[in-house]
Chain A
Amino acid sequence: MSRNRPFTPKVVTANLLREGDVVYLTAAGDWSPDHSAAELLTEAEHANDRLALAEAQPLRVVGAYLADARPGPDGRPEPVHFREGFRATGPSNYAHGKAHEVQ
């Protein structure tokens, strides 16, 4: 993250190590396939702490990173960039994205 840019809200996302599924870190510290269940991180320091928590679980998840998110109409996070939107909902050619199945 650039120090010059103001912090924008984030979620922590990763893939499950064994299965590969896209998952999101919840406020309770669990991993959910549902983007809207993610903890919306509004402060940089807290976001970095949560990312560190994810990275400390190498036997559970792989490739953790902070992804831009914003509060949706119900206050729960929704993706900002279309790439994260596709990760959250699955591919557009088949209705079988893993996250899609749980919604």
Chain B
Amino acid sequence: MYRYDDFDRAFLAERNAQFRAQVARRLDGSLTEDEFKPLRLMNGVYLQLHAYMLRVAIPYGTLSSDQMRVLADLAQRWDKGYGHFTTRQNIQYNWPKLVDIPDMLDRLSDVGLHAIQTSGNTIRNVTADHFAGAAADEVADPRPYAELLRQWSTDHPEFQFLPRKFKIAVTGAPNDRAVTRAHDIGLVLKERDGQLGFEVLVGGGLGRTPMIGKTVRDFLPEADLLPYCEAIVSVYNRLGRRDNKFKARIKITVHETGLDEIRRQVEERFAELRPLFDGTALQVLDDLKAQFAPPAFADSTDAPVVDPLLRSWVDTNTAGHKRADHAIVTVSLKAHGATPGDATAEQMRLMADLAEAHAYGELRISHEQNVILPHVPRAALPALHARLREAGLGTANVGLASDIIACPGMDYCALATARSIPVAQQIAERIDALKIEHEVGHLKIKISGCINACGHHHVGHIGILGLDRAGVENYQITLGGDGSERAAIGERAGPGFAYDAIVPAIERLILAYLDLREGPDDTFLDAYRRLGPAPFKAALYPEEAQDAA
């Protein structure tokens, strides 16, 4: 894992001292709110529906046990005892007091964490495959590149006032778990002729105008990563629209300018920039690769899995590790009826302890709002599962219908137009009551509480978008979305549903799928792609289907 050096520590200390002084000047009236607002946003502090919110970056979703314990400390000491892991691998605290935030940031800095560029029109937290460094299907660990991008983009003087926010995701595996195709820049590590490089995607994004990223460079040698990314952001900074906030993301720039012209301008700018990168970045990259070296794996053996609950959990919540005697464990933060992505301070501490005891002290946060223990010796699985179950963290539902992504929605977010959390809770409870989710199998339900799509509903196999229709919550359903390497934007199914009708609608949809599928291997998404929307719409709108018959 990356370890802060003296430069990082000094930078962060200075930045935190600046923000402490800015807060003091706001409180004594030296700064107006208009003057203070951009300063607090640059440090991840929002004013939300009920209170301030502090968004802390978890770079590429990687945490040490010590860092997780500090996140727990913040939750306990300065919030209401819990934190909310987000769809961008960050954590949000929903109830901090402004006067406490400088102390919270100082505490974070003790373990090399911060909230810089978690807001504003800057390059945001660089995200990565949450199985990075562990996955059996990986070409190479994407995190050294993500860390290099983090260092390059943090406080980059040219990119502090972009037309709009800018999000980069990196994956090192062909199975895309980082939703790279829905990012402003998506980077997919590949190997060609023995050399590592990237397929570079540009112009993906969700929100008001969802678009799948387009390949701007089929293979970029790893040595050119920074100048090429700088060229893309530089072209965007020049061409991106500043006259209309809703058309300011690079996806619109690419769409309006055309991919070929964007590519021409990027390559032209790249040719200018490349000589200016003197090789220092490559030395840094070499150092980073050494820091992200795998732990000293101990040999392990398969533990007997007799208990049916353990068997179910192993089948559902573990994934193939690059070593056959280890497993990747996903700890579900989606107990049926719980708030997706929330963890209490006690749960965070337990996961930190378990990571230390059984997973070489490493944890990951997934954009799907779960916690990953990336390197677990298989012999430790029974003991790990037992401890997780005691703490309410043993739910065996990863990748199933109740493993729902949900943004905070109108329960917390000032931008939201409807609630998303209680919809997720009720769907999960209903699915649990029906006892069908293991039979249903792989199904991704994603819920956003507004058109900004933080809940990734566009790429949900079933997407739910909460809207305000004449002062009443209303929920639109999209079908067939996919955030994987076969990325697709879901299609709107039809008229929206009232708050009390959305859960029954989802139930009808899932039960219809069970009737329509050819067998357990025919997933919801496969069945939708094969059959088209008609039979699913018939389930959602039975009265209309009857009228048409």
Contact = CB atoms under 8 A, between A and B. Distances in A.
Contact of A83 (B51, B94, B410): B410
Contacts of A2: none
Given A18-B97, A20-B98, A91-B421, A82 B50 contact: no
B96 A93 contact: no
Nearest to B33: A62
Q: Which of A17, A19, A20 has most B Cβ within 10 Å?
A: A20
B410 A86 contact: yes
Contacts, number: 76
B432 interface: no
A49 B411 CA distance: 31
B51 A15 contact: yes
A58 B411 contact: no
Nearest to A89: B50
Contact of B422 (A21, A93, A96): A93
Contacts of B471: 80-82
B29 interface: yes
Contacts of B50: 20-22, 87, 90-91, 97-99
Contacts of A22: 49-51
A59 interface: yes
Select the residue from A87, A91, A99 with max chain B CB neighbours within 10 A: A91
A20 B411 contact: no
A96 to B, nearest CB: 6
B96 A20 contact: yes
Contacts of B301: none
Interface string B462-477: 0000001001110000
A29 interface: no
Given A81-B471, A86-B411, A93 B33 contact: no
Interface in A1-48: 15, 17-22
Contact of A92 (B29, B421, B468): B421
B139 to A, nearest CB: 40
Interface string A65-103: 000000000000000111100110011111011110000
B96 A92 contact: no
Contacts of A82: 410, 468, 471-473
B419 interface: yes
B257 interface: no
Contacts of A17: 26-27, 98
B47 interface: yes
A18 B51 contact: no
Given A20-B47, A86-B410, A93 B425 contact: yes
B98 A19 contact: yes
Interface of A: 15, 17-22, 58-59, 62-63, 80-83, 86-87, 90-94, 96-99
7 contacts: A18-B98, A19-B97, A20-B52, A63-B47, A83-B49, A94-B80, A98-B95
